[in-house]
Structure formats: C-alpha cells, structure tokens
A = this chain, B = another copy of it.
Amino acid sequence: MTAQRAMQLFLALFVALALPFGAQAQQSTKQKVVFQVSDADPQKWNLALNNARNVQAELGKDNVQIEIVAYGPGLGMLKRESKVQARLADALDQSVGLIACENTMHNTKTTKDDMYSGIGYTKAGVTHLMKRQAEGWAYIRP
C-alpha cells in the first residue's frame, strides 16, 4: 500500500465517521419543545398556551418547533367545547402542534367528532413524549 492510498482510505473513513455529527448539528439549528398537558385544569391549559406563545416571541416563530400533547385528564383541553377553545385556532395558526392521545379518547369513549377540528392525533401521548425526548426535543410539563 502506498502512502497516497493510505491517505485516501483514511479520508473516506473520516468522512463516514464525521458526517453523522455534521448532520446532527444541522438538525439542531431549529429548537424543539414539547409541552405535556395531563391535568384537567384550564389554568394549566392557558399556561401551556402562554408558554408556547412566549417561546415563539423570544426565539422567533420560524426558529422553533412546538407541540402540545394532551392526554389523560388533560384531554379536555383539545375538545370542541374546551374552556380554552377560543385560543386553539390561534395556536394552530401559529403552527403550534396540538396533539390528542387516542388511548385516552378510547378509554373515555371520546370520538374525533368531540375534538376541536384541525388538531393532530397520536396513538399514545406518553410514547409520543418519549419519542420526542429521544429525538432531542426539550420536555416541559407546565
């Protein structure tokens, strides 16, 4: 093997090794945060919505990805007749993801017709929160 050949091999391996870190750095340019709502408490629902708004105000709406996940006793936040219903349209307009837990819906005999239209769904709120944390999202439980 010549020195040149050794160098070529080395560079190929270096690129293969270094690329994942470059890719990771690029992903993290947009900050991400998921809020958990699991209380049947409209004050907490308002707090989660305030938090989302403040994060967008400080970081810039286009620099941050936000989701609010409602499950268990918190499901009511995203129902059609929610006490914060007037604020849900605004959150969706501002690209805040609103996500309801289908397990909780199933257990409480709630259908999509009962839910605020335009929201998203996840099979299990908790596993969604686990997935987001594994992907590097910050977790906030207001």
Interface residues of A (CB under 8 A from B): 1-7, 9-10, 13-14, 17-18, 28, 31, 33, 36, 38, 43, 47, 50-51, 54-55, 57-59, 72-73, 103, 123-124, 126-127, 129-130, 133-134, 136, 138-142
Number of copies: 3
Give the residue among A33, A43, A72, A136 with the most B Cβ atoms within 10 A: A72
Q: Which one of B6, B73, B141 lies within 8 Å of A6 (CB-CB)? A: B6
Residue in B closest to A139 when the chains form the complex, CB atoms? B139
Contact A55 B126 (CB under 8 A): yes
Contact A140 B36 (CB under 8 A): yes
Contact B55 A124 (CB under 8 A): yes
Contact status of A7 and B4, CB under 8 A, knowing A51-B126, A127-B59 = no
- List chain B residues, Cβ under 8 A from A2: 3
Cα distance A58–B125 when bound, in Å? 11
Chain B proximity of A6: nearest CB distance (Å): 5
